[in-house]
Structure 1
Amino acid sequence: MDLTDFDIIDAHIHQWEPRATPREFSKLAKLMRYLPVPVDIAAKLAPRSDREFVGAPDAYLQPYLPADYRDDLGSTRVKSVVDVEVQWAGWKPDETRWVASLPFGVDTPALAGIVSAADPAASDFGAVLDAHQSASPLFHGIRTTVAYHPDRGVKSFATHDGTLTAPAFLDGIGQLADRGLSLDAWVYSGQLPEVTALAERFPEVPIVLDHLGTPAGIFGPVGKDTGHTARQREVLLHRWRDDLTDLAAQPNVVAKVSGLMMPVLGHPVPPRGTVTPVPTLLGRVGPLLAHALDVFGVDRLIWGSNFPVDKPITSLSGAVETVATGLSDAGASTDDLRKVFGGNAVRFYRIEPTY
């Protein structure tokens, strides 16, 4: 599908330098500086849940910076990007300051917005928000680590479920509305009712559901007992559909059609140096895209590549083609796609027109 005349905004990318920044995922990369071993051997040192989540470790062990993203674009014309936090340890606003300092907008797409890390349940939440705002005028919202899966074999990023509706978390959320900030909610699909309850309680807070709720195992086996049988995958799909429908009834929520090629969904990882063909991806993600379009409508969907996290499964151009074709097959027009691939991100993230 030809999107060359679109002003595409990639509303979900990640930037990191694993050997030089305080990131939770970077321990193995730092170890390899002192103990250089082949990547595939080093990966075996990581827990199985980590290996299944990343698919292939290459992108996590190397820097991923504006020039790397530019190289991944190929012929895809992305005008600007929104960077999303990647679990820095320590003082979270340091990541905002670091991202804002990267060489975007030279021979690379412009940086249009930053979604930073902050925990609404923390006692210093307000101070952290103020520091993010001081660090960069491109700071528009937060994402906090809440993704939890009951299958202990699936990589969780929180120690338990219920984080989004815990009293301390709820006490902090109101401060987002006071500052005109948004919340990116990345959860596994079993947590979708929590996002719905949060949206109902705080209708004044703009919420974006990252990656359509990440139904882990929906395309194949992950963890100890997730997606291992056709019946499990069918039940998972039906619950995801119902819970997404309930969430879409909340008008303050938008959804990112992003992260649909994350290995944790159960995609088989193709051999290194190859990608999954777009028709194959469409056969898997097409029904998810169609349902998202049906319940959220074209004005509440935002595209993001989730690169480099999705890179083991697809190319960036393949990700664009898959989502654009899947939405078109579900009835989206060219003007609709302009909204999904740019206009809706401008509105939701309050991106300045210069971008």
Structure 2
Amino acid sequence: MPGIVDTHVHFFNPRRPPWSLQQLGRVSGPALRALPGPLLRVASRFTDEHSMSGVAGHGLLTSRYLVREYGKDLAGLASVAGVPVTTVMPVDSLWRRRLSPADTAEAVARDVDTLAALPYGDGMPALGGMIVPADERLPGLGVQQALDRDDQGLIRGVRLRWGRHGDRLVHDWSGGSGALRSANLREAIGPLAERGLVLESLCYSHELGDLVAFASEFPEVTIIVEHFGSPVGVFGPVGSSTGTTAAARADILGLWRERMAMLAMRENVLVKISGIASPLLGYGQEKSGNIGGQHILADMIGPLVLHVVDRFGPDRVIFGSNAPLDSHNATIGVTVGALLDVLGDRGDYLLAQFFAENARRVYRIGEPGPNGSAESNGASGPD
């Protein structure tokens, strides 16, 4: 492998805007920054629905996670993979389910400004670009302000978080159904694709049939399925009733396999193999993590990863760590090591494409962005 491109990392600091107001809702930014650490953690336990609904491990969103913290998490990677993470791509970390339409565009633009100013390079991975959140309630999906302010051309895609689940304790990413039928999405998707931007989809496995139809209707749009389709509860109980029996888990797996095979027939669709240690998959409820190590994770996730790779082929799969949301279950080193255990005998070409080259091609890393800039090898700013 020539090095690793990590296409799915969440950077945030809950004590600073724009993330602070997303983290604790009604608590103002200055008040939040004044909270002592213990009180911040207590408050977050009552307001952080992402941890409570299984999106992240308990307490992971109460402390900052920026370039320096990410670098520490990469410490054990070299001994596992033999190569470093050379390039990183942050995705949005605006944690509230929904901002008001009036606040969304400004929050997205501020998120981009803040992420771009972090100190990449100089011993840390370079910044290859970023993925910003799309909001189907807004004209232009609410990203035009961010694009106008993106002087460095760092925005390489938009992320539509539209997943909704029937289990009331599993996080809903959208306030209503029908996101893929939104007039705003359908009007904006063509112009965004003309700018070279990809569309990333965050939904649940039972919704993938709708994505099949959407991908067929818009073959000119490159679509990336995040977290390999999120088969919630495939390994164990999640929420109030999802995946509680072996029969239920078999049904989840069977439907997911069928839908992924259908998506593979759409040549404009790729899969981001990320979130393989996500609590949403049903690894258990232990707060300290419960996968047990690299080889156990490889045994569990292996059949799903191979199904994706066999259906989509080596040129349509992309790696993402989902750091730090899964870190209580698996470190980045364990995640990469498990994937190497699963895919290592498939040859050097697959490993190079999956861990680096597909991302460089699809996100045009190292090439001029929509506003004319190329990949940033470092930036100055407060960490």
TM-score (normalizing by structure 2): 0.83
In structure 2, the partner of 1:249 is 265
In structure 1, the partner of 2:81 is none
1:269 and 1:279, CA in 2 relative to 1: closer, same or farther beyond 3 A? farther
Alpha-carbon shift at residue 279 of structure 1 (Å): 1.6
Q: In the alignment, is residue 17 of structure 1 matched against residue 29 of structure 2? A: no
1:260 and 1:342, CA in 2 relative to 1: closer, same or farther beyond 3 A? same
- One-letter identity of the residue aligned with 2:69: D
User: Distance between the aligned counterparts of 1:131 and 1:316, measured in 2?
Assistant: 30
Query: Please, which of 230, 241, 255 is the counterpart of residue 225 of structure 1?
Result: 241
Q: In the alignment, is residue 345 of structure 1 matched against residue 359 of structure 2? A: yes
- C-alpha contact 1:270 1:313 (8 A) present in aligned 2: no
User: Distance between the aligned counterparts of 2:51 and 2:67, measured in 1?
Assistant: 25
- One-letter identity of the residue aligned with 2:4: I
1:27 and 1:44, CA in 2 relative to 1: closer, same or farther beyond 3 A? closer
Cα displacement string for residues 156-213 of structure 1 (whole angstroms, at most 9, x for unaligned residues): 1112333123333222212212322111111111111122111111111111110101
1:132 and 1:34, CA in 2 relative to 1: closer, same or farther beyond 3 A? same
Structure 2 unpaired stretches of 5+ = 78-83, 368-374, 378-383
Alpha-carbon shift at residue 270 of structure 1 (Å): 5.1
Cα displacement string for residues 52-94 of structure 1 (whole angstroms, at most 9, x for unaligned residues): 4145333201111001000000142110111111226531121
User: Distance between the aligned counterparts of 1:294 and 1:232, measured in 2?
Assistant: 25
Query: Please, which of 155, 160, 169 is the counterpart of residue 153 of structure 1?
Result: 169
- One-letter identity of the residue aligned with 2:9: I
Query: Please, which of 207, 215, 231 is the counterpart of residue 231 of structure 2?
Result: 215
In structure 2, the partner of 1:138 is 154
- One-letter identity of the residue aligned with 1:153: L
Query: Please, which of 287, 296, 299 is the counterpart of residue 280 of structure 1?
Result: 296
User: Distance between the aligned counterparts of 2:49 and 2:364, measured in 1?
Assistant: 39
Q: In the alignment, is residue 84 of structure 1 matched against residue 98 of structure 2? A: no
User: Distance between the aligned counterparts of 2:254 and 2:22, measured in 1?
Assistant: 32
Alpha-carbon shift at residue 48 of structure 1 (Å): 7.2
Query: Please, which of 318, 323, 331 is the counterpart of residue 334 of structure 2?
Result: 318
In structure 2, the partner of 1:334 is 348
Moved over 4 A (4+): 28-33, 38-44, 46-49
1:275 and 1:43, CA in 2 relative to 1: closer, same or farther beyond 3 A? farther
- C-alpha contact 1:116 1:143 (8 A) present in aligned 2: yes
User: Distance between the aligned counterparts of 1:41 and 1:121, measured in 2?
Assistant: 33
- One-letter identity of the residue aligned with 1:26: Q
User: Distance between the aligned counterparts of 2:175 and 2:287, measured in 1?
Assistant: 33
1:63 counterpart SS class: coil
- C-alpha contact 1:13 1:84 (8 A) present in aligned 2: yes
- C-alpha contact 2:161 2:174 (8 A) present in aligned 1: yes
- C-alpha contact 2:44 2:62 (8 A) present in aligned 1: no
Alpha-carbon shift at residue 225 of structure 1 (Å): 1.4
- C-alpha contact 1:298 1:332 (8 A) present in aligned 2: no
- C-alpha contact 2:140 2:187 (8 A) present in aligned 1: no
Give the aligned CA root-mean-square deviation in angstroms.
2.5
- % identical aligned pairs: 32
1:299 and 1:40, CA in 2 relative to 1: closer, same or farther beyond 3 A? same
User: Distance between the aligned counterparts of 2:178 and 2:191, measured in 1?
Assistant: 20
Q: In the alignment, is residue 99 of structure 1 matched against residue 115 of structure 2? A: yes
Alpha-carbon shift at residue 269 of structure 1 (Å): 5.1
- One-letter identity of the residue aligned with 2:24: K
1:231 and 1:78, CA in 2 relative to 1: closer, same or farther beyond 3 A? same
| Number of aligned positions between the proteins | 348
In structure 1, the partner of 2:318 is 302
- C-alpha contact 1:275 1:312 (8 A) present in aligned 2: no
131-140 or 333-342: which moved more? 131-140
In structure 2, the partner of 1:26 is 23
Alpha-carbon shift at residue 123 of structure 1 (Å): 2.1
Alpha-carbon shift at residue 274 of structure 1 (Å): 8.2
